[in-house]
Amino acid sequence: MPRKGYQEKLDELQEDVLYMSEIVFDRLQTGLDALEKKDDELAEEVIHGDDEINQLYLDLERECVNLLALQQPVAGDLRFIAASFKIITDLERIADLAVNLGEYAIDAEQDHGPDVDVQAIGEIVVEMNEQAMAAYTDEDSELCYAIGDRDDEVDAMCQDASDTVMRNLIEREIDEDTTDEEIESLMRDVSRLLLTVRDLERVGDHAVNIAARTLYMVDNDDALIY
């Protein structure tokens, strides 16, 4: 393939990865909105939209494989294609976590648990992922490190939230008039809240993964890969 055509293929791959990220982050935000509003319609939109994300992933996977097999890239181009492949994998997994949020929204009954600000955690991890994709686009290694540092903040918020949920459960008084059905409902809500916090923490981890692959792509630096 002529050099111009090859470069166009690389540019197209980057555009396609960015397009996938926009859709995934939109679904993630919709999942958070569904959870906040207990909106089944929004939740179903996220759940039923997962097939589209999966197909995008397969299309981009094929695009990466074709570039690797047919062009035999080296050095910076090889790192770019490898990073792009790893990034779409993270994006697909973020979409799966967004589906989980939709399912939690549908399953939500009553708010028996403590007042944990899930939306605040969600806002940060969405922003982290958007910044990670900006770093990928702009080849911004400093932003990659900033995202890695911010993950510590998310981990601390998630740990505090989980501790609050468990402390509330331990301290909760259940009298003899409490029915088994009420106890089961409480446990389902507590479990759902803990799973929500866990999944949002994972979304933040995927942002770090994207930043790590970008840093390696830009500077051949594996400092954030773990």
Q: What is the pLDDT of residue 185?
A: 78
pLDDT single digits (tens) 23-62: 999 999 999 999 999 999 999 999 999 999 999 999 999 9
Exposure b/e, 185-219, CB count within 10 A at least 16 = b = ebeebbebbbebbebbbbbbbbbbbbbbbbbbbbe
Q: How high is the pLDDT of residue 135? A: 97
Per DSSP, the residues of 138-194 read HT-HHHHHHHHHHHHHHHHHHHHHHHHHHHHHHH----TT--HHHHHHHHHHHHHHH
CA-to-CA distance for 64 and 38, rounded, in angstroms? 39
pLDDT digits (tens, 9 = 90+) for 131-140: 999 999 999 9
The superfamily CATH assigns to domain 3-219 is Phosphate transport system protein phou homolog 2; domain 2 (1.20.58.220)
* Segments making up each domain of the chain, as ranges: 3-219
Give pLDDT, residue 10: 94
> How do the residues of the chain divide into helix, strand and coil, expressed in percent and rounded to 5?
85, 0, 15
